[in-house]
Structure 1
Amino acid sequence: MSPDPALSWSAPPAPGEGLGAGRPVVSFGEPEGYDERARPRPFGVRIRPRLAVVGACLVLGLGLIGGAVAGSWLSSKPGDSAARSSFTTAGNLWHSVPVDQLFPPTVDGQGAGPGGADRTWTRIAVAPDSSCRDAFDPLLRKVLAPLGCRRLLRATYADATGSYVTTVGLLFTNGDATAMQALATRFQNEGLRRRTDLMPRPYAAKDTLAAHFGTEQRAAWTVSVLTDAPVVTYAVSGWADGRTVDKPQPAQDATASGATTAPAQAGLGNEAQGLADRVERGLRKTVSSPTEQPS
């Protein structure tokens, strides 16, 4: 329980009161003591040094208190409210932002290809917004279930040569910041991004290059649980000619130096990772300026 300021010696006078108003004024004289020969001697000889020590302690104490208060101000996070607002805004983008802003018709991937080569992706299909029932393998759907599936948006792109197709998705969840952080930590600590039984599914649109892009054609994938937005981003890539893949590889492994698997040699890890990264960047840019229209 904090002491009553009115009972403190350092408390300021109440409005309208002068020094001494409403409280007694106490003055200290110099009472006498006796030295070793029983001669009278003022106590001031001994009191003054003690008062000096007490004064020094008081100054030091006030300095420590002031430092603690200042430290608490410095350790506070003035951007916390802005971060919460940004988090909420991101969760509502699925119905307030045009599809061309979330999934641009053309995406430039400067330096996104193998060896830093440039990439360009063209959108060939946009899936109707839907639930998550058929978008993920069963176990991945189970892992994501605690976040809830508020809305799922997907689009499929082809590279400039028409050799590869990639589906990229934005899962808008009902999770709060704590839930998103918990799942992101789990993905990191348990290596869930590398498990082939936790893959997203492609969106195979009829009459497009992705018409034969099914679960057996998945070559590389990436899943990212955001912590600054209630969103999970992902991408999965494969060949446009419909060839099957016996051993799909997570994008982070397929893009590693020295990787020799078929997805790595074809650059399909770069396709998935590069497109997912740029859609995620676009999402964050939209959160910071939601009314901005795509160029």
Structure 2
Amino acid sequence: MGPPPPTVLGLRGRQWMVVAIVVAFCYLVASGISLTGAWATLNREPTNAELQQAANKEVARRWQAWPASRIFPERISYRPVTGHSEYATRMGIVPDTACAQGVDTEMVTTIGRHGCRAVLRATYVDQLQGIVTTVGVVVFPDPWRADRAYKELPGAQGPDGTGTVRPALHAAAFPGTAAARFTDEARQDRTIDRGGPYVVLTTSGQTDGRPAAAIKKKRPGEPFVGAPQLGHAVARSLSAKALPDCDSPEWEC
């Protein structure tokens, strides 16, 4: 009778082969389960929460993803006190988007404290070319910080005989257009609106460049009734959530 077959850790060769087969089978099963789970995750429909998150991200990127002409359309409809619709025409878009360059110094600290990323500006003239309005989009990281800034920034104000409207959005003049004379000294009105992560400011005056200090008697906002409508139109367009298209590279679902 020959010597017993050698063993390793108490197991013989054939027993080790069986163990190896069982282990390999377990790995195959685990890999199959993992691949099945990954396939199901990649091919399932996104949840409502994921769609909402994707929509919020898309809105927050619009100030960079959209061309300036989409943020500030060439023409914006407004309704004057006469009741019929008219159109304000864009005179130009300011290339500088620095936060500190877009507003008076009294407002820089407030928007900076809440994470201002940029201030986009464009100037419009009303249909009769008598009123000029600069519209400014102040960009924040999210709607919550935009809302806090909105509540801290000064509200609407018209001429009251004390001089220029301040603090406010900086006026943006464009040489060779009806807005060529619109300077900070000519600001006579300001408004504020908000949509999503954006606060939209406007400042208005007269196209003849008349200084606000020359207006000795406070007037109702009738001459500038179109300004808040322009601001609201821009805010609404920027913040309106679109239905996510998860197959498009524009979206992150």
Q: Does 1:193 align with 2:150?
A: no
In structure 2, relative to structure 1, the CA distance for the partners of 1:177 and 1:241 (3 Å cut) is: closer
Q: In the aligned structure 1, how far is the partner of 2:184 from the partner of 2:220?
A: 15
User: Normalised by the size of structure 2, how large is the TM-score?
Assistant: 0.66
- State the match for 2:250 in structure 1: none
Q: Which runs of 5+ in 1 are unaligned?
A: 1-77, 249-259
Residue 153 of structure 1 deviates from its aligned partner by 1.7
User: Of 62, 67, 74, which aligns to 1:105?
Assistant: 74
User: Normalised by the size of structure 1, how large is the TM-score?
Assistant: 0.57
What percentage of residue pairs aligned between the two structures are identical?
Answer: 25
Q: Which structure has the larger Rg over C-alpha atoms?
A: 1
User: Of 250, 264, 269, which aligns to 2:221?
Assistant: 264
In structure 2, relative to structure 1, the CA distance for the partners of 1:290 and 1:116 (3 Å cut) is: farther
The amino acid of 1:88's aligned partner reads K
- State the match for 1:35 in structure 2: none
- State the match for 1:121 in structure 2: 88
User: Of 172, 193, 199, which aligns to 1:232?
Assistant: 199
Q: Which has the higher contact order (CA 8 A, sep 6+)?
A: 2
User: Of 283, 289, 292, which aligns to 2:238?
Assistant: 283
Q: In the aligned structure 1, how far is the partner of 2:177 from the partner of 2:150?
A: 34
SS of equivalent residue, structure 1 residue 123: strand
Contact 2:102–2:120 at 8 Å: present in 1 too? no
Q: Does 1:86 align with 2:43?
A: no
SS of equivalent residue, structure 2 residue 238: helix
Residue 263 of structure 1 deviates from its aligned partner by 5.8
Contact 2:156–2:189 at 8 Å: present in 1 too? no
Residue 118 of structure 1 deviates from its aligned partner by 2.1
- State the match for 2:35 in structure 1: none
How is 1:134-213 mapped onto 2 (pairs within 5 angstroms)? 134-174=101-141, 176-187=142-153, 192-194=154-156, 196-213=165-182
Contact 1:140–1:197 at 8 Å: present in 2 too? no
Residue 261 of structure 1 deviates from its aligned partner by 3.3
Instruction: Give the ranges of 4+ consecutive aligned residues of structure 1 lying more than 6 Å apart after TM superposition.
Output: none
> Number of matched residues?
191
Residue 105 of structure 1 deviates from its aligned partner by 0.9
Residue 224 of structure 1 deviates from its aligned partner by 2.3
Q: CA-atom RMSD, angstroms?
A: 2.7
Q: In the aligned structure 1, how far is the partner of 2:86 from the partner of 2:183?
A: 23
In structure 2, relative to structure 1, the CA distance for the partners of 1:163 and 1:138 (3 Å cut) is: same
In structure 2, relative to structure 1, the CA distance for the partners of 1:123 and 1:177 (3 Å cut) is: closer
Residue 82 of structure 1 deviates from its aligned partner by 4.4
Q: In the aligned structure 1, how far is the partner of 2:206 from the partner of 2:220?
A: 9
Contact 1:210–1:240 at 8 Å: present in 2 too? yes
